[in-house]
Amino acid sequence: MLDEDRQTINKNLDKLVKHTSDIGLERIIEILKEMEVLSDEFAKPYLDTKIKANMRKVEFYLNIQRLGPAMFEKLKHAVSVCKYEDLLFILQPYKHHLHPIDERLGARPTNLPDYMNEVIPTKMYTTMDQYQDASVNFSMQAIDVKVREADQRLDLKKSKSPRYRCGSSPKGLALIINIREYQDKSHSTRKGSEHDDKNLEELFKQLGYQTEVHLDLDKREFMDVIKMFAANPKHFQVHTCMVAIMCHGQMEKNDDEDSVTTVFITTDGKTIPYTWVVHQFDAVNCRGLINKPKVFFFQACRGESKATVQRLGYGLMADHTEADGMGNLPIPVRKLSDVLIAHAAPRGYIAMRDVNKGSWFIQKIVEVFMNKAHNTHVLSMLQEVDVVLSRSITSDCLSQTVCIEQFGFNHKLYLSPGLYD
């Protein structure tokens, strides 16, 4: 490690230890191992809970200095992926964002789902689709979707980290639902979202998925499409599944009145609980996908709060925000597992959509996946999507953070586009 980088760590060692939580240390080490810059042997003592936490952190920051001149930059990258703003600011105080800021003029929020019965402040119950920046950045280019093909099947590569099989032809079935137009005047047209379903359809096809697209569904049609897709017998013959849903959403109270959940708003203004959609793909309703990875992409807001950034003399620093009946199955299985869900925003926050080019979230998924799917697993790509989004702001400093949820998604999913069994 360079002398100036060593000095940065040693001078701020107390601060680094203070702002690194036990889970944070484990997460940073996990990312560095995925980047193949830390060996299991090197990492082992810093994950040993028998050793006092502060001692492990001190030793980690001291010993990591011995791992070559590029290690400091790799450490900052791992911290950035983990979204540990305090640590990143300590390591690079005058260049808090590692890349140029991508200002998005002409972006507006959309709405979407929340998670299983989480309590949210009352002010987040209503939808947020009123904000619209008057200017539009016409310099943004349309995405030319070209997926880079893999040269090896990484899903079959021997590794200590378990991997999902992904070699069937097609790789799996993919479902895209986009609700752009609304029959009732209380919900605005989701301008720009037509680019999202077209780009996603092309991405999924080039990744090797048999894809179906449905637009502007009412409640009955929405539920029928989900049920029919989940019940498709072709799921038994393929290795994976992808689902993308883009529409307005809002928070609704549950029956107990103490918690709320997100619902999708269909084109007729009616609502469908988010949890209902997820459970159509559990082990009871979708046997063809038992023990197979199911990846969901949800584009919309999950409340009305706006994630902002503050302009400082040396760049941008993000605000510090806190978010706190199986039948006769052949083998014992969990009812809901192998599920990975990527939300465009954390619960309670809006997500941005450019009225000319589509949503930020979907744009960056397409760009990252088409360039990285040949050698990067899905969870890591979604983390990179969040890193890229962290550089995007509107003209009045609104930003966006991806929220990733996992239910028993315990293997790495390499898509290996272009390669099959």
Q: How far apart are CA 119 and CA 127, in angstroms?
A: 16
Which among 234, 211, 232 is positioned nearest to 280, based on CA atoms? 232
397 annotated active-site: no
Q: How far apart are CA 26 and CA 12, in angstroms?
A: 20
Residue pointed to by tokens 């895209």: 176
Q: Would strands 260-265 and 249-253 be described as parallel, antiparallel, or unpaired?
A: antiparallel
301 annotated active-site: yes
What Rg, from alpha-carbon coordinates, does the chain have?
A: 22
Q: How far apart are CA 389 and CA 66, in angstroms?
A: 32
Would you give the distance in Å from CA 223 to the centre of its chain? 24
Considering 96, 301, 374, 377, which one is annotated as catalytic? 301
Which among 271, 158, 152 is positioned nearest to 222, based on CA atoms? 271
Considering 239, 248, 343, 377, which one is annotated as catalytic? 248
**Cα atoms found within 13 Å of the Cα of residue 380, Cβ hemisphere only:** 20
Is it true that the peptide bond before 100 is cis, omega within 30 degrees of 0? no
Q: How far apart are CA 321 and CA 301, in angstroms?
A: 17
Point out the residues that are catalytic: 248, 301
